[in-house]
């Protein structure tokens, strides 16, 4: 999974020449000589998602591959990423989870004009936090993400972390036809009011993977990214005891996942430490069994026959250094409720959507009675405004019958409680997965000025109204 810049760019321009628009921008080097500089082209390409036995799929990519180029940055060092639009529709890039200046947040109409076909936009920011992040479009998101536009961002710690290997599993969910094409029907209204567009094939780093080769005795840092439109995942590592060390890029107190299942909502990232305690020569399944009727084997950990790398597991603690997050002052915090409403209920009604104010054509969901539709556009009025530097405590109430990974831009949220019970492990998240009827309290310091989106990351839900804007002024 090393960065594959030059080769794939070259391949893209040769193979894709007929697909490209006439606008002849000078080619960007995929990665410049100095670190933290990238050129990323959003462009159509073809991918073998199902392996060599299956037909190729027409996809939309960053630099010709799915997932797109891995962007490696260094904590606290300026980054410069030039994005070129070689699609035939407008796009933007959002750097999900990175606490960056508002003008670099990639929300069309709200933080920047969209990047038109043939145009380029340069994103400039200094990532304050080390960790696992990702990037994706924030224009026509449902279709652009669903056709493959997504990639990982790894921000390296200042001091290297002591592991034998650092692996990334970028997980994507696709809805393919029998011929291998991406199924049409984005924005199906029924789906939008239910679980969203859950696909029929999950890829790991762009392919269906049968095996992840490992060696007995090694310690692996495994970065999990759920880049799906709607699919929630619950990963189980047969015969192993993963330790969660970071959530959404933010280190937490190392802990084992509840019930041995790593719950990963769309857009969430979880870093785990895996001490490879299996037997040389054996295979262990990694299973996703979030949906009762859709459980499948994601891959297998395949042990090398050779002797263990070390006789005993490492006894250094697996934790990661904390990022410089401002601690909210809970006693002084201003408090607000954000209530999620709508969606299909048992009888087919949209709960509470009937007489709601701000109810638009096409809305299936609302926050505090208001539905913001689509992706981001000019004139989105903030639902709440916070004075810069204030501590804020939000109570998120899910009154619906569906799961929602709720995401806030520009800040990380300290997760305080779930359904009245304190959340342990000092967890900070930018995407909080809420089960039906959950009530979750989060807190943060509103220290990053600008208009920031808060939305469900099930893309159909966002498009159909589960979105709002919060202003820090």
Contact string 352-391 vs ligand C2O (x = CB under 6 A): ----------------------------------------
Phi, psi of 15 (to 5 degrees): -65, -35
CB of 408 to ligand C2O, least distance (A): 9
Select from ligand C2O, Cu ion, none the partner in contact with residue 9, using the beta carbon and a kind-dependent cut-off of 5 to 8 Å. Answer: none
**Three-state DSSP class for residue 459:** helix
DSSP secondary structure letter of residue 65: B
229 binds Cu ion (CB under 5 A): no
For ligand C2O, the binding residues in 123-142 under the rule CB under 6 A are: 136, 138
Residue with smaller CB distance to ligand C2O, 138 or 215: 138
CB of 293 to ligand C2O, least distance (A): 28
Containing H/E element for 141? helix 141-146
User: Which pair of structure tokens corresponds to residue 138?
Assistant: 């924030």
Residue with smaller CB distance to Cu ion, 96 or 147: 96
CB of 376 to ligand C2O, least distance (A): 8
Residue with smaller CB distance to Cu ion, 99 or 409: 409
Residue in 374, 461, 388 with CA at minimum distance from that of residue 138: 374
DSSP secondary structure letter of residue 431: E
Tell me if 164 sits within 8 A of 310, measured CB to CB: no
Select from ligand C2O, Cu ion, none the partner in contact with residue 404, using the beta carbon and a kind-dependent cut-off of 5 to 8 Å. Answer: Cu ion
Select from Cu ion, ligand C2O, none the partner in contact with residue 175, using the beta carbon and a kind-dependent cut-off of 5 to 8 Å. Answer: none
Distances (CA, A) of 301 to 39, 105, 235: 34, 37, 13
Distance between CA atoms of 184 and 60, rounded to whole angstroms?
A: 14
For Cu ion, the binding residues in 50-109 under the rule CB under 5 A are: 96
Question: Rg of the Cα trace of the chain?
Answer: 21
Alpha-carbon 368 to chain mean position: 25
409 binds ligand C2O (CB under 6 A): yes
Stretch that binds ligand C2O, among 80-88, 243-251, 364-372, 450-458 (CB under 6 A): 450-458
Alpha-carbon 418 to chain mean position: 22
Q: How many secondary structure helices (H) and strands (E) does the chain include?
A: 4, 31
User: Which pair of structure tokens corresponds to residue 415?
Assistant: 């997760």
CA atoms within 13 A on the CB side of 298: 25
Residue with smaller CB distance to ligand C2O, 121 or 237: 121
Q: Which of 404, 407, 411, 414 binds ligand C2O (CB under 6 A)?
A: 407
Other residues' Cβ atoms within 10 Å of the Cβ of residue 314: 16
Residue with smaller CB distance to Cu ion, 127 or 242: 127
Size of the site for ligand C2O (CB under 6 A): 10
Residue with smaller CB distance to ligand C2O, 12 or 406: 406
Stretch that binds ligand C2O, among 11-19, 81-89, 300-308, 453-461 (CB under 6 A): 453-461
Residue with smaller CB distance to ligand C2O, 215 or 455: 455
Phi, psi of 236 (to 5 degrees): -125, 125
Contact string 83-122 vs ligand C2O (x = CB under 6 A): -----------x-x--------------------------
Residue with smaller CB distance to Cu ion, 59 or 458: 458
Stretch that binds ligand C2O, among 49-57, 183-191, 232-240, 449-457 (CB under 6 A): 449-457
CB of 444 to ligand C2O, least distance (A): 16
Tell me if 99 sits within 8 A of 129, measured CB to CB: yes
For Cu ion, the binding residues in 400-429 under the rule CB under 5 A are: 404, 409
Containing H/E element for 6? helix 5-15
404 binds ligand C2O (CB under 6 A): no
Select from ligand C2O, Cu ion, none the partner in contact with residue 411, using the beta carbon and a kind-dependent cut-off of 5 to 8 Å. Answer: none
Select from Cu ion, ligand C2O, none the partner in contact with residue 223, using the beta carbon and a kind-dependent cut-off of 5 to 8 Å. Answer: none
Distance between CA atoms of 134 and 459, rounded to whole angstroms?
A: 16
Dump the DSSP string for 190-227.
HHHTTT----SEEEETTB--S-EEE-TT-EEEEEEEE-
Residue with smaller CB distance to ligand C2O, 96 or 404: 96
Distance between CA atoms of 271 and 95, rounded to whole angstroms?
A: 18
Contacts of 33 (CB under 8 A, 6+ apart): none
- Which parts of this chain interact with Cu ion (CB under 5 A)? 96, 404, 409, 456, 458, 461
- Which parts of this chain interact with ligand C2O (CB under 6 A)? 94, 96, 136, 138, 267, 407, 409, 453, 455, 457
């Amino acid at each position: 999974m090393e960065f594959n810049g030059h080769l794939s760019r070259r391949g893209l321009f040769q193979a894709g020449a007929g697909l490209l628009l006439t606008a002849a921008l000078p080619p960007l080097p995929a990665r410049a000589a100095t670190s933290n500089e990238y050129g990323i082209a959003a462009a159509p390409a073809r991918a073998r998602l199902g392996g060599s036995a299956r037909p190729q799929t027409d996809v939309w990519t960053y630099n010709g591959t799915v997932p797109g180029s891995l962007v490696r940055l260094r904590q606290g060092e300026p980054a410069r990423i030039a994005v070129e639009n070689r699609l035939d529709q407008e796009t933007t890039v959002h750097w999900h989870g990175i606490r960056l200046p508002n003008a670099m947040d990639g929300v069309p109409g709200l933080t920047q004009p969209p990047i038109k076909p043939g145009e380029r936009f340069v994103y400039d920011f200094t990532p304050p936090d080390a960790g696992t992040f990702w990037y994706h479009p924030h224009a026509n998101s449902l279709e652009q993400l669903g056709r493959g536009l997504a990639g990982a961002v790894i921000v390296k710690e200042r001091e290297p972390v002591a592991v034998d290997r650092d692996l990334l599993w970028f997980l994507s969910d696709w809805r393919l036809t029998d011929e291998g094409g991406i199924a049409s029907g984005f924005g199906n209204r029924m789906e939008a009011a239910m679980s969203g567009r859950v696909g029929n094939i999950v890829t790991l780093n762009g392919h269906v993977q049968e095996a992840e080769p490992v060696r007995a005795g090694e310690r692996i840092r495994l970065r999990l990214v759920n880049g799906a439109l709607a699919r929630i995942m619950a990963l189980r590592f047969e015969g192993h005891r993963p330790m969660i060390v970071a959530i959404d890029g933010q280190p937490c107190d190392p802990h084992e996942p509840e019930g041995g299942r790593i719950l990963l909502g769309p857009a969430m990232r979880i870093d785990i430490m895996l001490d490879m305690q299996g037997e040389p020569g054996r295979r262990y399944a990694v299973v996703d069994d979030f949906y009762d009727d859709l459980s499948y084997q994601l891959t297998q950990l395949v042990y090398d026959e050779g002797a263990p790398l070390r006789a005993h597991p490492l006894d250094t603690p697996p934790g990661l250094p904390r990022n410089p997050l401002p601690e909210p002052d809970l006693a002084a915090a201003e408090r607000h409720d954000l209530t999620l409403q709508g969606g299909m209920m048992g009888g087919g009604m949209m709960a509470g959507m009937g007489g709601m104010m701000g109810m638009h054509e096409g809305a299936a969901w609302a926050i505090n009675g208001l539905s913001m539709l689509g992706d981001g556009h000019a004139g989105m009025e903030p639902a709440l405004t916070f004075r810069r530097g204030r501590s804020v405590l939000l109570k998120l109430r899910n009154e619906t019958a569906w799961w929602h990974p709720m995401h806030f831009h520009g800040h990380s949220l300290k997760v305080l409680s779930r359904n009245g019970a304190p959340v342990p492990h000092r967890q900070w998240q930018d995407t909080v997965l809420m089960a039906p009827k959950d009530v979750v309290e989060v807190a943060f310091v509103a220290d990053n000025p600008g208009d920031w989106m808060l939305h469900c990351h099930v893309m159909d839900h966002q498009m159909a109204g589960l979105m709002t804007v919060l202003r820090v002024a």
